[in-house]
């Protein structure tokens, strides 16, 4: 799997679980809203960047995953935890 595949799988799973998923939000590939939390995904050929924040507060905290397994795990953790 590529990082693009992982990002699409995370977005599809979030949609299936009833979360709002934006795929046309500026420089982000996907933005997932879960209650008051928000995660933005930025995909490249080498990594998947996760930016997490709270909807009512400006700014994000970011993590870069360079392993597809770790990227999938981090995305699913956001959805299911």
Q: Which position has the higher pLDDT, 5 or 27?
A: 5
What is the C-alpha separation between 68 and 66, in angstroms, rounded? 7
Q: What is the pLDDT of residue 74?
A: 94
pTM of the model: 0.90
- Where is average pLDDT lowest: 12-16, 28-32, 58-62? 58-62
Strand partners, 39: 32, 52
What is the C-alpha separation between 51 and 64, in angstroms, rounded? 9
Neighbours of 33 (CB within 10 A): 14
Q: What is the pLDDT of residue 49?
A: 96
H or E element that contains 43: strand 37-43
């Amino acid at each position: 799997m590529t990082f693009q595949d992982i990002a699409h799988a995370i977005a599809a799973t979030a949609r299936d679980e009833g979360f709002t998923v934006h795929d046309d939000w500026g420089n982000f590939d996907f933005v997932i809203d879960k209650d008051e939390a928000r995660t933005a995904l930025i995909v490249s050929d080498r990594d998947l960047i996760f930016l997490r924040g709270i909807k009512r507060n400006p700014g994000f905290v970011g993590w870069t995953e360079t392993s597809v397994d770790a990227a999938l795990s981090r995305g699913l953790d956001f959805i299911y935890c």
